[in-house]
Structure 1
Amino acid sequence: MQEYLAHEPLFQKTKHYEHTHNHSAEHNHTDPRFMDKRVLKISLIMTSAMIIIQFIYSLLSNSLALLSDTLHMFWDALSLVFSLLAILAIQKWQNHQKTFGYFRLEILVAFVNALTIIASAIFIIYEGIAKLFNPQSIDAQTMIIVAFIGFLVNAFCAFLMFKGANLDNINIKSAFLHLMSDLFGSVCVIIGGIFVYFSGIVYIDTILAIILSFLLIRYAFKLLKQSVNILLESSPVDISKVKATLLEDEEVLEVKDLHITQITHRMLVATMHIVVKDFNDFEKLAQRLSKKLLEEFEIGHLTIQPQRSLT
């Protein structure tokens, strides 16, 4: 039974989880977080440097789209910090009261990142509407050059994260979404700057910023919904299918009080009461059920309370 009580996420999809208490996650290269941390550090350094440059030139060029893109990049950097801190906490902190460690921090970070995306998008929409009623001249040439540099930085960081990080993890996904939103924002600023440069119509800059903000809100709500479902301990797998799988074993007569929750990515926990035919074979039955749920649903931690059949 012990091999199926995984207190950490399942690292290898094709292999059973191996419980290793003697080695920290810091030195476990099978843990995707080892690479995630390196990618986040590189992205944070490059993004932070670009924020300073882009903010200065957004003020000099008087471009709302460039300023909004700078704000996105600031939230990008903040999201990268949160994501990095979550990984460091998981690897470094230990508390016997936290029986599943600090893995749920990843979900909290994703939740906060989604909220920051929504908040920044609402702010940009507000500023954009104000600028539509009070348009100002824009230095389109400066706007295009700086936005292009920002595009290169975001493209490199997004590519680095896409190739090297674990995007199935909601924590990393939230940071990646920030980078992609800012990458798309840089594209909008460049396109808007070109139109403003050749046409002189400053409204294009503002309209693109507002459109981008609505797109950000749409994607952020999806991330918010996913993180909230995990925090509310909704089952990530179909409960009815799990019950049906359990009842396929002839020794299981009934499944009661079934609870399935997700601590973080690929870290599922299930508890249940089952009515069994024979108490004497319960240990073997529990091992069969644990292995089956691990292989079919990636439930790595299973606690079963047996009940004797009254018939």
Structure 2
Amino acid sequence: MTHAPLETRLPDTGPLRETVLRLAEAGARVADLVARGPLAGDLDAAVGDSGAHEAGDAQKHLDLVADRLFHEALAGAPVAWLASEERAEVEALAPGAPLAVALDPLDGSSNIAVNAPLGAIFSILPAIDDPLASFLRPGAAQVAAGFLVFGPTTALVLTLGAGVDRFVLDREAGRFRLAQAGVRIPTQTREFAINASNRRHWAPGLRAFFDDCLLGREGALGADQNMRWIASLVAEAYRILVRGGVFLYPADARRGYEAGRLRRLYEASPMAFVVEQAGGRATDDRGARILDQAPASLHQRTPLVFGSADMVGMVARYVARA
């Protein structure tokens, strides 16, 4: 596949349209590679001596390939600056262009070998002359954001700041087709997603919320809850957009986890923009709105809680009274 147009309500012309279309095209190319799995080589192979990138997570061969494919797609686009989770510094693409793109080119790379969902996340901001300052702004400065999921179907979720649309890649036609306009996160839900193996490291309020979820109808929540954990942020977010629920990746007492693990710029801010545009809520693990917060550095980490607004608010209340 060499071209993947997007059926969407983008402006007929302009920088934002061109940039989103190029991101969609790169996403389709990565999806083709992911679908080949081991037939495309050892995509799960660790890279370098340390096997870790600038943000400190394990770096796989597919991380670098995906980063290159997105970089190639954005070359020549109206994008002044590109910040990638896989790169230490901001890259200059077309200085003077009106947009800046922050990108997690491959989310969930721990799932490569086990054939579980992967994805990519992007954030689009207005560019200013200072490349670093273009990105170190509150999440509310975004003009568009979205993510791709490489699963049984390849899906693209997109917001331009006026609602959320969901697309599915039609491989025969070579284009993303609109599957649902105006996505809204269901408000009635009985699902939560968290890595329960870390319970002993959590703050008391989060442990109390988790314990009441396990108690179900016999506890304070008064209803049985289902626990989910896919180890892929994009897959968790996609499920919440479809079925509702809450996702939690809190800070905890382990070394290196004191400020959470998800990147504010590449993961938390774009997810928060999408979630809020779909009627949900996104906060840190103390209840502070993610979109009000600006990263202090390109790879700064943050706790993240998002999903159905009522459930996110409930988590904040448990934390506040602990």
TM-score of the superposed pair, with normalisation by structure 2: 0.23
Structure with the larger RCO, 1 or 2 (CA within 8 Å, 6+ apart): 1
TM-score of the superposed pair, with normalisation by structure 1: 0.24
- The structure where helix makes up a greater share of residues is 1
Larger Rg: 1
